[in-house]
Structure 1
């Protein structure tokens, strides 16, 4: 086993590789295909995509062409954030299944509690309607696990008020300096795995002198230190890159951050935008 194939447990017992390769902002076509193939060749076994990324087709083709058995790869995709009704959710799921062409989806997420054009607007009723479709898909074994993304505590509690299954995962923006403590604590209390996207703060952490000094102590890059930090907190990181060398390096995390240094990084929490 390696750091890329070690797993965490979702609330339903499904094992999920503890590091995912993110494909946000990678265009469909050769860039996505080549990046996913590089990640799989480097040992990643967890690929994260979404209908909104527009690259499900290339992700699916890369997985099929990789030579890695399908049952060894964990695939996550997401329902578009704008869809808040049952009929729309069912149709969108079928589109994703057909576009990916990988059979059962391992983790299916509601991409956000509100449309991206109306962040913060109230769609609690729509989320409950959609979640009931997710429960149907789960019960029918069309997906192995279901979850949400960008949900805060109020969103999560609203969802749970009228549904049966607690989300197995919540994928949120999580990195050194922005650890969403309230949401993270709620998820821990309720057995919801936190997945952290943008673990490098979309690159903003890479020039931080405080992190550079600590990374040097461990003989690693700032990126490696930042991604490892999530693992130290039991948060599943989703690093993304299109550069082969960085894709490989982002998965080379076979080191531990000492508790004192984790505490130092914790003290930076919520100081990075």
Structure 2
């Protein structure tokens, strides 16, 4: 079959939780084409196929567009102890620092918040560390005035130099620059209400109700995480379509 067709079919089947198609999709888990292989594993993991976790973990370790699609699904479905061990193994690797920060945010353990605050001191990962901190605590850094007064000069996106091959947009462009000292002071006042070793999402212990609430109230990147988290609690329902027209999403949230 054409690899692009396989990829699209696997993705759609995964989004709709078509378990009747699981055997057919599993047959493409070792596809030579990277895109088809990714979507086959992405889909079957969300149907409870534990054998697809390792291939998906490999995609999560590779920088690129598929990494961001692999990571929230992997952290939603992989056993917690496995995720903790995997993150610890990758922590010393500088080239994986950004992905590890995001994985720590998705795991949601308050024990990691002091480490995330440390990461805010390094300009390249400061904003993504702030995003991970907010994902766990629900703290809106801009609203709480926990941002830097003077933002550092940092241009991760394309520039005017025609000889520069970097044409990728800055992934963190719309994220606030956290002030590590202010964030740390805020956390000192809040940490008594959190329990280490427990998963939190937007300031509450991970729960089906919390994910549903986030789909109504949170920012888009947080809503995407909520959709994958909710899917773990409702494994037979279609994945919540966070990119669908607003009227359709509102109708689904009423059901």
Structure with more contact order per residue of length (Cα contacts < 8 Å, sep ≥ 6): 1
TM-score by length of 1: 0.32
Bigger helix share: 2
- Structure showing greater radius of gyration is 2
TM-score by length of 2: 0.33
Bigger strand share: 1
